[in-house]
């Protein structure tokens, strides 16, 4: 009759217990990382994300005449993006949209494109008739990156890096099929 475990049995039990603890620790680390990644995706941030996503999805390559040459209305730097969107957040029409990193916040401005005060050849955010939303507040970092096509005319991805959340948006791809038509219109302007 056996009253104790052999050394091999004890070593196997310790090995299996160690393997179980290591697996649990790895799962916990993955869980903590996911919680850390989404801790700023609070309902307010999720709403802000969807608002920006709506206007970016409506991005439209609007043609303007700049002196003697024609070009698309799309301006950007590492602190702001200005473009025409078919999906206004406030105005139910085509709008001039502008996302700006200012005063430690991400701010969205919008003005109607077809307004009596708007210059169609040089659209801009109108001071008297604009709509403003402060999306993210108390930011230590706010930077805007654009990935464009080879010619640098059509944005493919808008990326907004902040210390709270990294937001990546893509304009609706359906306007890509209009690219040749738009290039023809641009040449005829």
Judgement on whether residues 63 and 152 belong to the same structural domain of the protein: yes
Domain-embedded: residue 3: no
Same-domain pairing of 16 and 100: no
Asked if residue 164 and residue 88 are part of one domain, the reply reads yes
Q: What domain range includes position 16?
A: 8-39
> pLDDT tens digits for 101-119?
888 888 889 988 887 777 7
pLDDT tens figures, 17-74: 999 999 999 988 888 876 666 555 566 667 777 888 888 888 877 878 777 777 778 8
Is residue 2 one of the residues assigned to a domain? no
**Percent of the chain whose pLDDT exceeds 70:** 77
pTM, full prediction: 0.66
Mean of all residue pLDDT scores within the chain: 78
Instruction: State how far Cα 178 lies from the chain centre.
Output: 23
Cβ(81)–Cβ(99) below 8 Å: yes
Beta bridge partners of 84: 60, 96
Give yes or no: residues 18 and 63 share one domain.
no
Bridge partners of 112, per DSSP, are 95
* 12 pLDDT higher than 90: yes
Q: Is residue 62 part of a domain?
A: yes
118 plus 164 within the same structural domain: yes
Please give the torsion angle defined by the CA atoms of residues 131, 66, 72 and 165, in that order, rounded to the nearest 10 degrees.
-50
Phi, psi of 81 (to 5 degrees): -130, 135
pLDDT of residue 17: 95
Q: Is residue 61 part of a domain?
A: yes
**CA dist., res. 159 & res. 182, Å (int):** 25
pLDDT of residue 22: 93
């Amino acid at each position: 009759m056996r009253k104790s475990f052999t050394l091999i049995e004890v070593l196997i039990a310790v090995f299996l217990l160690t393997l179980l603890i290591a697996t649990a620790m790895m799962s916990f680390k993955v869980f903590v990382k996911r919680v850390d990644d989404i801790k700023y995706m609070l309902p307010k941030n999720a709403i802000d994300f969807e608002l920006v996503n709506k206007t970016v999805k409506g991005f439209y390559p609007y043609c303007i005449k700049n002196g003697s040459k024609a070009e698309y209305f799309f301006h950007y730097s590492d602190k702001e993006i200005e473009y025409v969107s078919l999906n206004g957040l406030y105005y139910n029409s085509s709008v001039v949209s502008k996302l700006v990193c200012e005063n430690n916040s991400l701010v969205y401005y919008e003005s109607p494109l077809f307004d009596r005060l708007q210059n169609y050849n040089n659209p801009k955010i109108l001071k008297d008739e604009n709509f403003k939303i402060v999306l993210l507040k108390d930011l230590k970092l706010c930077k805007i990156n654009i990935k464009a096509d080879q010619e640098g005319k059509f944005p493919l991805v808008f990326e907004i890096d902040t210390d709270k959340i990294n937001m990546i948006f893509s304009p609706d791809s359906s306007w890509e099929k209009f690219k040749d038509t738009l290039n023809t219109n641009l040449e005829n302007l």
